[in-house]
Amino acid sequence: MEDSQRRLLQKHRVTLVTELQPELLYSRLLEKGIFTKDMMEEVENSGTRRDQARQLITDLQTRGTRAFPAFLESLKETGQDNLADLLGKGLSFKPSPFIPDVPVKTYRPAQQDRPMTTDPVQCTDPDFLGPRKPTNKQAQKYDTVYRMEANPRGCCLIINNVDFQPNSHLKSRMGSDVDCKSVENLFEMLSFKIIVRKNLTKQLMLEELKSLAQKNHAHFDCCVVVILSHGNQDRVTSKAPHRQFPGAIYGVDGTPPIPVQHIVSYFDGLHSPTLREKPKIFFIQACGGEQKDTGFHTAEEMDWAPDKSSETSSLQTDATPYRAEDEPDAVSSLPTPSDILVSYSTFPGYVSWRDKKEGSWYIKTLVRVFSEFAKEEDLQTLLTRVTRNISENEEAIGVYKQIPGSFNFLRKHLYFS
E strands along 81-221, which residues? 154-160, 193-198
How far CA 200 is from CA of 160, 176, 187, 230, 251, in Å, comes to 8, 14, 21, 12, 6
Q: Evaluate whether 283 touches 366 at the Cβ level (below 8 Å).
A: yes
Quickly count: other Cβ atoms within 10 Å of residue 308's Cβ: 10
Q: Evaluate whether 115 touches 121 at the Cβ level (below 8 Å).
A: no
Burial class (CB in 10 A: 0-12, 13-18, 19+), 191: middle
Q: Catalytic residue, from 123, 230, 271, 413: name it.
A: 230
Q: Catalytic residue, from 155, 222, 223, 287: name it.
A: 287
Listed in sequence order, the DSSP H helices in 90-219 are 136-142, 176-189, 202-213
Q: Evaluate whether 20 touches 56 at the Cβ level (below 8 Å).
A: yes
Annotated active-site residue 222? The verdict is: no
Annotated active-site residue 156? The verdict is: no
DSSP letters of 329-358? S-----PSP-SEEEEESS-TTB--EEETTT
b/e map 231-257, b = 16+ CB within 10 Å: bbbbbeeeebeebebbbbbbbbbbbbb
Q: Which residues pair with 43 in a beta bridge?
A: none
The distance between the two most distant Cα atoms of the chain, rounded to a whole number of Å, is 91
As annotated, the active-site residues are 230, 287
